[in-house]
Amino acid sequence: MHESSAPPTSFLRKHVFSLDHKVIGKQYLDLALVAVVTGMVLSWLMRLHLAYPELAIPGLGRIAPNGAAGGVMTPELYLSIMTMHGTIMVFFVLTTAPFAGFGNYILPIQVGAEDMAFPRFNMMSFWVTCVAFLVLLAAFFVPEGPPLSGWTAYAPLSAIGKDAGPGQGTGQTLWAISIGIFCIGQLLGSLNFIATTLDLRARGMTLMRMPLSTWAWFITSVIGLIAFSVLLPACVLLVLDRVAGTSFFIPAGLVVSDRLQPHAGGSPLLWQHLFWFFGHPEVYIAILPGFGIVSHILPAFARKPLLGPKVAISCMAAIAFLSYTVWGHHMFLSGMNPLSATLFSVPTLIITIPATIMVLLWIGTVYGARMRFTTPALFCLGFVSVFVSGGISGFFLAQPSIDTYLHGTYFVVGHFHFVMGVAAMFGIFAATYFWFPKMYGRMMNETLGKWHFFLTLIGVYATFMPMHYLGLAGNIRRYSAFTDDYMKGSLPLHRFITMAALFTGAVQLLFFANLIWSRFRGAKAPANPWGATSLEWSIPSPPPHDNFGGKHPVVAHGPNEYGGTGPEGDHVMQATPESLGTV
């Protein structure tokens, strides 16, 4: 299926407009790296302002003269930065890195294919996503600045135009166009992931022999296919409301900035329904690859098979299905009928069952194991920890009566940053430390990696745990400062969180240093440094252009054959001939 067995020679074809899934995967990861640095810097700006509302941030006044004259940001600029932080992180980091990035690089190799089913669509998928990112960033450079309606872009605020505030003009239009383009990119990606998994598996690679990571990417792409197919129409309608004078989301008689809006008859709730029908599955698009990565990596370091792989696959499939039945739990405060709220609350509580089973399977896998505590293994264990910490607060929020109190507070900020943000990031880190040797042919530094893990773990707990207490104490979210009202008492804790966030950010320099140093100076990686079983470890590091060097792998084993004796030691690789492998 590879376009040609000989690698392309021109620079453009090799590194820029490459059809090779490995190059495209790396491009996605590089894009996510740029995005995550951007998003993290934005979060520091927010945190600095929350802790020291009078602080003039050097240089900010020059970058945003309208929003931060003299360097002290206005509440509007705070909201703009919050919007861009959320949008960049959710779309361009949590979707691109664990799903599009690692999925692109690893999935075709794990199923034994030479490339994705549609390499041209794959290339388009990346470049379309890249354009979406640039369009979003362009919002920083329009006169009124970026939008301020949050990453959820609630209508009518997002639909009205510049009457609704600075950034709601061109900035918000760019946001809607960017997300629409992003949807197209991810749809093309999902198409490739599904077709490749279904049609390009090597001989003997039955569905049940696929590694859990590939299962997770496959299920995630099914979720993405449906979710982005709904977000795209929502963005189209939003753009039409903004530029063509239609009224899908804007009700009649709305007076904003002393001006009667020239719209009538629209439904702001329609946007919320369309958005959250995408938005809740999006949470699983961010986290399911992490489920797969952890389920794939943990056994390699526990030297034990994953407990209940079929149960794990069923749980992920159940989560995918249930993720489409719970979107209303984001809308308990929208004035919905209490009966509807109950109908959304029940599946929300039910979805915790497969999620909990997954956690038990991971714990059961490492229980009694002689763990090899490498950096990727540590990040997997960290993933389980933060996923549980963030997941437990979900039990509270799933209940409408409790959510009514907590929804507008920092409790929710703490919840989703743990369960979706940090957990997914830990999955990304685990995947990076695990697959880096395969991708670049060099090992990452273990000492730096372990420091990175422990300091990050401390940092994220110090950052997000206190937010739960702030929320319980009624500290409202989305405000830019807590100085003039009853929330003044929360300022010391906010300062602590800011320190923790800056600390966690600084710790990431260890990661960047490790990435760059290992890329050029790391120890040469053997084909299978971890003694793992799946197909990517039976080919050289880094893999040849067509992955398997012109050969067609034949699979005779499942991905979970750890413990016992095989020709390679205490494990049997998937490509080991049947007669040789016993576990």
Partner 1 sequence: MTSPTLAPGSSPARTGVWIGIAAITMSFTAYTSAMVVRQGSGADWHHVVLPGILYLDTVLLLLSSGTLELGRRRLRAGASGAMLLTVTLALGLLFLAGQLVAWRGLAAQGLYLSSNPASDFFYIFTALHGLHLIGGIAALGYLLGRLRADPAPPWSALEAVTLYWHFMGVLWLYLLVVLATRL
Under the rule (CB under 8 A), what is the footprint of partner 1?
1, 112-114, 117-118, 187, 190-191, 194-196, 198-203, 225-226, 228-230, 232-234, 236-237, 240, 244-248, 251-252, 264-267, 269-270, 273-274, 277, 552
Minimal distance, residue 252 CB to partner 1, in Å: 7
Query: For residues 205 and 283, which CB has a smaller minimum distance to partner 1 in the complex?
Result: 205
Could you identify the residue written with the tokens 């040849």? 544
The CA–CA distances, whole Å, from 25 to 28, 100, 227, 363 equal: 5, 7, 22, 30
Query: For residues 277 and 436, which CB has a smaller minimum distance to partner 1 in the complex?
Result: 277
The CA–CA distances, whole Å, from 460 to 298, 425, 472 equal: 22, 11, 19
Q: Taken in order 173, 177, 182, 183, is the CA torsion positive or negative?
A: positive
Query: For residues 251 and 529, which CB has a smaller minimum distance to partner 1 in the complex?
Result: 251
Q: Taken in order 417, 420, 424, 426, is the CA torsion positive or negative?
A: positive
Q: Please, what's the b/e burial string for 341-374 (b: 16 or more CB within 10 A of its CB; e: otherwise)?
A: beebbebbeebbebbebbbebbeebbeebeeeeb
Q: Which residues contact 63 (CB under 8 A, 6 or more apart)?
A: none
Minimal distance, residue 246 CB to partner 1, in Å: 5
Minimal distance, residue 101 CB to partner 1, in Å: 21
Minimal distance, residue 193 CB to partner 1, in Å: 10
Query: For residues 63 and 195, which CB has a smaller minimum distance to partner 1 in the complex?
Result: 195
Minimal distance, residue 394 CB to partner 1, in Å: 26
Alpha carbon 78 to chain centroid distance?
23
Q: Please, what's the b/e burial string for 65-79 (b: 16 or more CB within 10 A of its CB; e: otherwise)?
A: eebbeeebbbbbbbb
Quick check: 398 and 348 in contact, CB under 8 A?
Answer: yes
Query: For residues 225 and 349, which CB has a smaller minimum distance to partner 1 in the complex?
Result: 225
Minimal distance, residue 479 CB to partner 1, in Å: 31
The CA–CA distances, whole Å, from 529 to 369, 442, 453, 524, 537 equal: 19, 10, 20, 10, 8
CA-nearest of 49, 25, 317 to 192 is: 25
Query: For residues 38 and 129, which CB has a smaller minimum distance to partner 1 in the complex?
Result: 129
Query: For residues 129 and 365, which CB has a smaller minimum distance to partner 1 in the complex?
Result: 129
Minimal distance, residue 227 CB to partner 1, in Å: 9
Minimal distance, residue 553 CB to partner 1, in Å: 8
Based on the number of CB atoms within 10 Å of its own CB, is 83 exposed (0-12), middle (13-18) or buried (19 or more)? buried
Query: For residues 264 and 506, which CB has a smaller minimum distance to partner 1 in the complex?
Result: 264
Quick check: 407 and 332 in contact, CB under 8 A?
Answer: yes
Quick check: 462 and 494 in contact, CB under 8 A?
Answer: no
Minimal distance, residue 242 CB to partner 1, in Å: 11
Query: For residues 111 and 216, which CB has a smaller minimum distance to partner 1 in the complex?
Result: 111
Instruction: Kindly state the greatest CA–CA separation across the chain.
Output: 80
| Cα torsion through 330, 333, 339, 344, rounded to 10 | 10
Query: For residues 267 and 356, which CB has a smaller minimum distance to partner 1 in the complex?
Result: 267
Query: For residues 234 and 457, which CB has a smaller minimum distance to partner 1 in the complex?
Result: 234
Minimal distance, residue 169 CB to partner 1, in Å: 19
Minimal distance, residue 212 CB to partner 1, in Å: 21
Query: For residues 12 and 244, which CB has a smaller minimum distance to partner 1 in the complex?
Result: 244
d(CA 308, CA 272) in angstroms, rounded, equals 38
d(CA 446, CA 438) in angstroms, rounded, equals 16
Minimal distance, residue 207 CB to partner 1, in Å: 12
The CA–CA distances, whole Å, from 30 to 10, 139, 181 equal: 21, 21, 19
d(CA 38, CA 87) in angstroms, rounded, equals 11
DSSP, residue by residue, 141-207 = GSTT-S--STTTT-TTHHHH-GGG-TTTTHHHHHHHHHHHHHHHHHHHHHHHHHHHHHH-PPBT--G
Query: For residues 70 and 265, which CB has a smaller minimum distance to partner 1 in the complex?
Result: 265
Query: For residues 181 and 424, which CB has a smaller minimum distance to partner 1 in the complex?
Result: 181
Minimal distance, residue 177 CB to partner 1, in Å: 16
Minimal distance, residue 119 CB to partner 1, in Å: 11
- ∠ CA 419-425-430, nearest 5°, is 120
d(CA 245, CA 565) in angstroms, rounded, equals 70
